[in-house]
Amino acid sequence: MKQSFFLVLTILAVTGCTNRNSVKTNSPFNKIEAIEEKYQPLPLTEVKPQGWINEQIRKNLDGFVGRLDTLVPQLIRDDKIYGESRLTKKVKNKEVGALCDAGDWQVQFLWWNSETQSNWRDGYLRSAILLNDKQHLSNLQKYVDYILSTQDKDGYLGIYDKDLRYRFDNENGELWAKATLLRGLLAWYEQTKDQKILSAIERAAQNVIDNYPAFHSHPFYSKQPNVGGTSHGLMITDVFENLFRITGKETYREYCLFLYQDFSEQELNESAQYKKLMNDTLLLSSHGVHVYEHLRSVAAAYYASGNPQLKIALDKFLNKINDETTASGAGVGDEWIGGKKADATKRGYEYCSLQELMHSYLELLLKTGNNTFADQAETIFFNAAQGARHPSESCIAYLKSDNSYYMTGGLNGDNSNKKQTRYTYSPVHQEAAVCCVPNAGRIAPYYVQHMWMKHNQSLVASLLGPCVVTTTVNSHRVTITEKTNYPFENTIEFVVSADSEFDLKIRKPGWVTKFSVDTEYIEEDGYVVIRKNWKGSQSVKINFIPEIVERKDINHENYFTYGALVLASPLAAREEKTKTFAIPGFYNFKYSPKHLKTYWYAGYPVVAVQNNPLIFKTILLNDSTHQKETVELVPMGNTILRQVTFKDPPH
């Protein structure tokens, strides 16, 4: 059946039904002229985390990031899904780590472990590289050697045996298994500069192009529209874009345009398809993680084509995402967005979505230089992402909401579905899926890598925080140490070691209204630019003066920020340890409030508590007693149960 299906597709392709030349001249997928990206990314090896970010990555590496393969060995160590255990028609069942409903399934659907393994390893190897952890790097070298040994002569790297690969008319993980794997291998190449790795990645990419020829094949064709793995597969644009950046080969970038075209033209339940983006009456509705990651594929297609119609689609996409965004910067989806707008209490967000949306904003920052995208990435990382990881234990929330009153399984205490365990803390979340924990290990390394970018003759401090960058600008070596505890303090000292002339561009966060710099500078497009012939070691100190600001979320609920930090009223919680893992120090937890008190906004100012720079107080209205109470506010990143937004009292 599948053979004859492919024969039909081939005939259609050859006869020109899908030929590029036959597309209408006003097609949004016509290439006009590719657009150059404004900033250039730095390789992972050139920025090293310091201070609190370094401590967090260390803690991850000593915790769920370094140990996930021993916490869920059956999903990782025991399943050589890219090698000896590639999926074949002969496989009749498989442990995928979740409570699946029995039903109509095919072996090609069983790609889940590839995502768990490769997203986990991507975060793991990036963390080990950033911390230069020799023991973990040595373990990872063995893994990379093993993966390279699984590559077939024709370049195939992936999870399907020859009887299945590239022959699908339904759900499959062909491109997604490669996207997650190759993103990690690209990081390993950045670390080792080993041409053997780059060559393996390019051969794997060529194998995709050979089997899914650009504009003459349909990798996203499916006879039914709900296809998680197939749709995730669009993210192989991450790999092709990076290969374009490394090699300069335009074919790689054009392939992203083809992928987005085919994705848009198939019958799929995906909100990022071109026609759906252009329809202003449609809210985003499909699976949240897909939507937030697909944002970068739309951006990739626009930059590959320069087609203004794709620019319009991209802008509409960003507006639609705005409707799904909470105060903490998160894009909602639990797990579906479902055509309903964000809500601080009634909508949850998935940890996977936090990483994917932040990564998409970082790609948009690279492309446009527009520092609004940096503000959005910082908001997610400092607030939603910190606020969905446990403050002291090595575990995370799979789903979380800004106003989080219970973490006992369902959203804010709704435990009507006994199988719902996502609103709890776990180092694995195996009952749901081991997707969020791997992504919780990726988010900090992706943040760190994008803290610095290059732009012509300048070095750009694009995201702020403690780090050291060592790179070359105009062929001269430059090291800059960023001394700060940002965003918990707002003074940053840049210690520059260089003997050359270049511009140091420091992003001025969107929240800044007052600041001072202790040297001569100009302001340009939201950046503080210091033009200098640098000699030896020189220091630049910049002081962003934070204010407490009252803001409104998309539902006009009130919340407060202090600099880049979103504040919350913390709720004392009762902890229940629901599982102790065989590996010491790892647990699942549930939390319920000791005394649930929630508040309305009362119009009073927020003031800092003396001698405590990150503790604040305000007066709010208790929504049960209607009495005014003095309430403490702290950064939401340190909280488990909390209230972030405060409605106006009913009239």
Q: Which residues of 36-46 are buried (b: 16+ CB within 10 A; e: fewer)?
A: ebebebbbbbb
Tokens at 157, concatenated: 């790297």
Is the Cβ of residue 69 or residue 350 nearer to Zn ion in the bound state? 350
The piece of 241-249, 314-322, 351-359, 515-523 that touches Zn ion (CB under 5 A) is 351-359
The CA angle 347-351-356, to the nearest 5 degrees, is 105
Comparing CB distances to Zn ion, the nearer of 290 and 508 is 290
Cα Dmax for the chain: 76
Q: How far is the CB of 439 from Zn ion (least distance, A)?
A: 6
Binding segment for Zn ion (CB under 5 A), chosen from 186-194, 349-357, 412-420, 567-575, is 349-357
CB closer to Zn ion out of 435 and 564: 435
**Site map (CB under 5 A) of Zn ion, residues 303-342, x = contact:** ----------------------------------------
Cβ atoms of 174 and 123 within 8 Å: the answer is: no
Site residues for Zn ion, 180-209, by CB under 5 A, read: none
Q: CB-wise, 128 or 436, nearer to Zn ion?
A: 436
435 binds Zn ion (CB under 5 A): yes
Beta carbon nearer to Zn ion, 259 or 352: 352
Return the axis-axis angle of helices 288-305 and 250-265, rounded to nearest 10°: 130
Segment interacting with Zn ion, rule: CB under 5 A, options 79-87, 100-108, 158-166, 344-352:
344-352
Only segment of 112-120, 348-356, 384-392, 441-449 that touches Zn ion (CB under 5 A):
348-356
Min CB(436)–Zn ion separation in Å: 4
Alpha carbon distance 42, 40 (integer Å):
7
Write down the least CB distance from residue 276 to Zn ion, Å: 23
Is 352 among the residues that bind Zn ion (CB under 5 A)? yes
Count the site residues for Zn ion by CB under 5 A.
Answer: 4
Q: Which residue lies nearer to Zn ion by CB, 240 or 292?
A: 292
- Rounded distance, CA 151 to CA 171, Å? 23
- In sequence order, the 6+-apart residues with CB closer than 8 A to the CB of 139 are none
Select 313 or 437, whichever has its Cβ closest to Zn ion.
437
Question: Shortest gap between Cβ of 433 and Zn ion (angstroms)?
Answer: 6
List binders of Zn ion among 412-431 (CB under 5 A).
Answer: none
Within 15-74, which residues bind Zn ion (CB under 5 A)? none
Q: Closest distance between Zn ion and the C-beta of residue 289, in Å?
A: 6
Among 140, 436, 448, 614, binds Zn ion (CB under 5 A): 436
Binding mask 467-506 for Zn ion (x = CB under 5 A): ----------------------------------------
The candidate with the shortest Cα–Cα distance to 142, out of 125, 167, 160, is 125
**From 433-441, 497-505, 517-525, 616-624, span contacting Zn ion (CB under 5 A):** 433-441
Q: How far is the CB of 295 from Zn ion (least distance, A)?
A: 17
Read off the tokens for 506.
Answer: 């420091």
Considering Cα of 332, then 433, then 122, then 232, what sign does the dihedral take?
A: negative
Nearer of residues 436 and 530 to Zn ion, judged by Cβ: 436
Which of these, 389, 365, 577, 559, lies nearest to 460 by C-alpha position? 365
Phi-psi region of 85 (alpha: psi -120 to 50; beta: other; left: phi over 0): alpha
Instruction: Closer to Zn ion by CB, 119 or 403: give it.
Output: 119
Choose between 187 and 435: whose C-beta lies nearer to Zn ion.
435
Burial of 291 (0-12, 13-18, 19+ CB in 10 A): buried
**What residue type is assigned to position 580 of the chain?**
T
DSSP assignment of 571-597 equals: --EEEEEEEE-SSTT-EEEEEEESS--
CB of 630 to Zn ion, least distance (A): 38
Cβ closest to Zn ion, residue 350 vs residue 393: 350
Q: What is the sign, positive or negative, of the torsion defined by CA atoms of 62, 64, 65, 69?
A: positive
The secondary structure of residue 195, as a DSSP letter, is H
What are the residue ranges of helices labelled H in 150-213?
Answer: 174-192, 195-211
Residue 351 CB, nearest approach to Zn ion (Å): 6
For 253, other C-beta atoms within 10 Å of its C-beta total 22
Going by C-alpha positions, the residue among 414, 351, 430, 343 that lies closest to residue 592 is: 414
**Residue closer to Zn ion (CB basis): 288 or 570:** 288
Per CB under 5 A, contacts with Zn ion among 241-300 are none
Supply the minimum distance, in Å, between the C-beta of residue 431 and Zn ion: 13
Minimum distance between the CB of residue 435 and Zn ion, rounded to whole angstroms?
A: 3
Residue 595 neighbours by CB distance under 10 Å? 6
**How far is C-alpha 175 from the chain's CA centre?**
18
Contact between 395 and Zn ion per CB under 5 A:
no
Residue closer to Zn ion by CB (options 64, 258) is 64
Least gap, CB of 181 to Zn ion (angstroms): 18
As a residue count, the chain comes to 651
Considering only residues 106 through 145, tell me which ones interact with Zn ion, judged by CB under 5 A: none
Distance in angstroms (rounded) separating the CA atoms of residues 537 and 452: 19
Nearer to Zn ion, 366 or 432 (CB): 432
DSSP 286-317: SBHHHHHHHHHHHHHHHHHH--HHHHHHHHHH
Least distance CB 113 / Zn ion (angstroms): 14
- Computed from CA positions of residues 631, 633, 638, 640, in that sequence, does the dihedral angle turn out positive or negative? positive
- With CB under 5 A as the contact rule, which of the stretches 347-355, 411-419, 468-476, 641-649 interacts with Zn ion? 347-355
CB within 8 Å of 128: residues ≥ 6 apart? 61, 136, 137, 140
Smallest gap from residue 254 Cβ to Zn ion (A): 31
Eight-state DSSP code of residue 105: -
Q: Does 530 bind Zn ion (CB under 5 A)?
A: no
CB of 158 to Zn ion, least distance (A): 22
* Token code pair at residue 447: 């943040």
Closer residue to Zn ion (CB): 352 or 385: 352
Q: Give the nearest distance from C-beta 355 to Zn ion in angstroms.
A: 9
Pairing, β 491-497 against β 522-524? unpaired
Chain residues that interact with Zn ion, rule: CB under 5 A = 350, 352, 435-436
